């Protein structure tokens, strides 16, 4: 078998695998609805009548969200493990994990998404209320 035949067979295998995968997308219902994907694709200027492509984008988005959430969970566990090590007097471990915006921000930063949230300071209970309604 020469090299051209081998590359041709590999290409046919790739084409058939791609065809099988695209066909399987018709039977799969992703967690992200097709309408939502279509909306954001249209908002970005992309329109495609092929449902398989829309579902492919939904599956890729679902995978991205799952990876970000998993990474954020790892950041949360590491942060809370560091807090428990610092507090030796607290022997019992709290089983509840509290995912913070900092955990999510660190996870998204690994994927090139920079999320900066505004810091809120409320030193005074009347902060944020109408100045006319403040009691002094």
* CATH number for the domain harbouring residue 108: 1.10.20
User: Is 39 inside a domain boundary?
Assistant: yes
Q: Is the pLDDT of residue 118 over 90?
A: no
Q: Which of these ranges, 3-12, 54-63, 102-111, has the smallest mean pLDDT? A: 3-12
State the pLDDT at residue 21: 87
Phi, psi of 94 (to 5 degrees): -80, 125
Whether 42 is in a domain gets the answer: yes
Burial class (CB in 10 A: 0-12, 13-18, 19+), 58: buried
- Can you spell out the DSSP letters for 12-45? HHHHHHHHHHHHHHHH---SS-HHHHHHHHHHTT
Q: What's the rounded Cα separation, in Å, for the pair 13 and 7?
A: 10
Q: How many domains does one find in the chain? A: 1
Residue 50 lies in a domain: yes
User: Other CB atoms closer than 10 Å to residue 55's CB: what's the count?
Assistant: 21
Q: Is residue 23 part of a domain?
A: yes
Domain that holds residue 94: 10-125
């Amino acid at each position: 078998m020469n090299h051209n035949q081998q590359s041709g067979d590999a290409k046919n295998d790739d084409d058939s695998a791609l065809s099988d995968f695209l066909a399987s997308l018709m039977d799969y219902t992703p967690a992200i609805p097709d309408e939502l994907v279509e909306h954001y694709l249209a908002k970005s200027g992309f329109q495609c009548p092929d449902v398989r492509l829309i579902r492919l984008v939904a599956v890729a988005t679902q995978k991205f969200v799952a990876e970000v959430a998993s990474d954020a969970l790892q950041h949360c566990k590491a942060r809370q493990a560091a807090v428990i090590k610092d507090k030796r007097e607290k022997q019992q471990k709290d089983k509840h994990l509290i995912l913070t915006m900092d955990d999510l921000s660190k996870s998204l930063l690994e994927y090139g998404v920079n999320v900066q949230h505004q810091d809120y300071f409320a030193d005074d209970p009347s902060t944020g209320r109408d100045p006319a309604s403040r009691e002094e």
